[in-house]
Amino acid sequence: MKILFATAEVSPIAKTGGLGDVCGSLPKALAKLGHDVTIFMPYYREAHEWFANNGVTLDEVVPPMYINWGNWAAEATYLRTTLPGTDIPLVLVANDYFFNRPHIYSARLDGYDDGIERFSFFCRAIIRGCELLGIAPDVVHAHDWHTALLPIYLHSGLRGSENFRGARSVYTIHNLNYQGIGTRRQFATLGLHSRYWAPDAVEHFGDVNLMKGGIIFANQVTTVSPAYAKEIQTHEMGAGLDGILRSLFFKLHGILNGIDVHEWDPAEDPHIASPFHLGHLAGKSLSKRALLREFKLTHKSRTPLLGFISRLTDQKGIDLLIAALPQMLAAGAQAVILGSGEPRFENALLHIAAQHPDSCRVVIGFDNALAHRIYAGADILLMPSIYEPCGLNQMYALRYGTVPVVRLTGGLADTVIPFNGANLDTANGFGFIAVNPADFYTATWLAMLNYRESKAWRQLQDNGMAADLSWERSAREYETIYHRAQFS
Ligand code: ADP
């Protein structure tokens, strides 16, 4: 099958979270199953830097093209390469005005957030790019709000284009809470017929809502875990789109993300101090010692090291972490925290570190290599998310023998089996349910107590490390959805 991936992020070129990880690894698993995948992403400054740093030269494939849509026109340049380490074609859409900015999601210089305009341009440029490069997909796989316009464009007559005549669309929700909301005036920048300004199209309570349109017009919709697929159909977690999702439940499926088991492999990880694998965890102890040394924390026996790696936003339960962490440290834990995001959270975490110089370090920033060292060196990974569509961190932790403590929501509930004292044959972590720092603390404290029971702990680590977290299983489920899309 010919599959077109349209995405705002691709790891390792430019990512801010799980969307990038998925779009950097699912195409590889699909290619292994024999599919012909092409990826389109914007040529951000970050992408330019990634290719320059890695000595990759990009080919400009056709002369710059004017993309016309609505009453807009902007120039697109298409650069071609392959997804690193593969021969999967990757096409980068360049336009300095829209994409040459300090960060992937930077607003315009004057502070105006022109996300709707930038990604309308990107989606239009993908369509033109397919025509210019002779790409005729069977399935257009769009991801999150940034490319939600593609299923809408396909519905709105794009099938009149030779290249898209047989195309069907699959739309994946990675995070329902970022919907691509714009003002009524921005509807004009989408280049859609006025009949799409309707509650059963992209209009949502007087605003433009691109994700809503993607959900309505895609042939099939997926999200990144079975539990999240159920949660988003509830009023509490549906972020205003639960009604639409309930009414379209017949085309909504939850497919758990996999992880890139090559990038995240403790036996081969170039970032960590000492390799290790299931059944041989000496390297994990050495990696812990190295991490403690790096942060000038003293190694103490029977003292668990807590890790936390995250965007610092409400979603990730930072309020719970800030409330419970001092007590965890008082109960004898050490902690290394890596994150960036809202300044109020950054400051509160830095404040805790300053108050606990002997046991806690906080690094503000985005550092992939350090993330690897923390997954390898920590004993326990904390993940008190308020909601979590899938979550990758807990899967990386499981693979690195680091026992997760999670709030049992979304993909965390689908991947972490909490230890209850009687299920040591299957358990791989600890969990809590109520959004409450006391419950988070209690679950972590239980993990800390069990950490001292070395036999049970080792079993929890082994259970996690033995799990099949690869993309292969998920890729087969996506394959089924692509087939369904062809008949819907
Ligand atoms: P989300 O997509 O909601 O941010 P996920 O758990 O799905 O959450 O994916 C997070 C990804 O981003 C993981 O690969 C994680 O290691 C990475 N990550 C998050 N914050 C940082 C950071 N500050 N430094 C390095 N990697 C980070």
pLDDT, tens digit, 9 for 90 and up, residues 88-134: 999 999 999 999 999 999 999 999 999 999 999 999 999 999 999 99
pLDDT of the residue at 62: 87
Distance 393 CA to ligand 1 centre (A): 7
pLDDT average, residue stretch 306-323: 97
The rounded Å distance from CA 429 to ligand 1 centre is 19
**The predicted structure's pLDDT at residue 354:** 98
Ligand 1 lined by 366 (C-beta under 6 Å): yes
Rounded Cα gap, residues 324 and 112, in angstroms: 37
Q: What's the gap in Å between 328 CA and the centre of ligand 1?
A: 23
The reply to whether 282-468 shares the fold of 2-258+472-486 is yes
The residue to mutate among 21, 350, 469, having the most atoms of ligand 1 within 8 angstroms of its beta carbon, is 21
Question: Percent of the chain having pLDDT more than 70?
Answer: 100
Could you give the CA distance from residue 169 to residue 139 in angstroms, rounded to a whole number?
5
* Token pair of 383 as six digits: 């993940």
Give the pLDDT score at 39. 98
Dump pLDDT digits (tens) for 218-266: 999 999 999 999 999 999 999 999 999 999 999 999 999 999 898 899 9
Domain 2-258+472-486: homologous superfamily in CATH: Glycogen Phosphorylase B; (3.40.50.2000)
Task: Say what the pLDDT of residue 427 is.
Answer: 98
Cβ of 197 below 6 Å from ligand 1: no
pLDDT of residue 434: 97
Q: Is the CB of 226 under 6 A from ligand 1?
A: no
Bridge-based pairing of strands 72-82 and 380-383 is unpaired
How are beta strands 207-209 and 181-182 bridged, if at all?
Answer: antiparallel
d(CA 48, CA 56): 10
Tens of pLDDT, residue by residue over 437-448, are 999 999 999 999
CB-ligand 1 contact for 120 (6 Å cutoff): no
For ligand 1, whether the C-beta of 371 sits within 6 Å is yes
What is the reported pLDDT for 18?
87
**Mean confidence (pLDDT) of the chain:** 96
Contacts with 115 (C-beta within 8 Å, 6 or more apart), sequence order: 105, 107, 146, 180, 182
For residue 409 and ligand 1, the question of a CB distance below 6 A is answered with: no
Q: For residue 461, how far is its CA from the centre of ligand 1 (angstroms)?
A: 22
Q: Which residue among 308, 310, 474 has the greatest number of ligand 1 atoms within 8 angstroms of its CB, and so is best to mutate?
A: 310
Measured from the Cα of 393, ligand 1's closest atom is 6
Nearest residue (CA) to ligand 1, atom 12 = 17
How many Å lie between the centroid of ligand 1 and the Cα of residue 13? Answer: 14
Q: What is the pLDDT of residue 70?
A: 82
Domain definitions of the chain by residue range: 2-258+472-486, 282-468
**Which ligand 1 atom is the nearest neighbour of the CA of 368?**
25
**pLDDT tens digits, one per residue of 261-272:** 988 999 999 999
pLDDT, residue 414, reads 97
> Which of 16, 1, 6, 2 has its CA nearest to residue 371?
16
Atom index in ligand 1 nearest the CA of residue 174 equals: 2
Pairing of strands 65-69, 59-60: unpaired
271 C-beta closer than 6 A to ligand 1: no
CATH superfamily of 282-468: Glycogen Phosphorylase B; (3.40.50.2000)
The protein residue with its alpha carbon nearest to ligand 1, atom 24, reads 366
Q: What is the band of 482 on the pLDDT scale with cuts at 50, 70, 90? A: very high
The SS3 of residue 291 is: helix
pLDDT digits (tens, 9 = 90+) for 11-38: 999 998 889 999 999 999 999 999 999 9
Would you say the CB of residue 114 lies under 6 angstroms from ligand 1?
no
C-alpha of residue 311 to centroid of ligand 1, in Å: 6
Q: CA-to-CA distance for 263 and 270, rounded, in angstroms?
A: 9
pLDDT in the model for residue 175: 96
**What are the strands of the beta sheet with 334-341, ordered from one edge?**
360-364, 334-341, 305-312, 380-383, 403-407, 430-432
CB atoms within 10 A of CB 160: 8
Decide: 439 and 432 in contact? Cβ < 8 Å: yes
Least-confidence region, from 95-99, 117-121, 156-160, 329-333: 156-160
How far apart are the two ends of the chain, measured CA to CA in Å?
16
Tell whether the model's pLDDT for residue 159 goes beyond 80. Answer: no
Q: What is the pTM of this model?
A: 0.92
CA of 191 to the centre of ligand 1 (A): 34
Cis peptide before 12 (omega within 30 of 0): yes
Rounded average pLDDT over 287-312: 97
Is the per-residue pLDDT at 160 higher than 80? no
The amino acid present at 255, given as its one-letter code, is: I
Phi, psi (rounded to 5 degrees) for 431: -145, 160
Query: Which residue minimizes the CA distance to atom 15 of ligand 1?
Result: 393
Query: How confident is the model at residue 17, as a pLDDT?
Result: 84
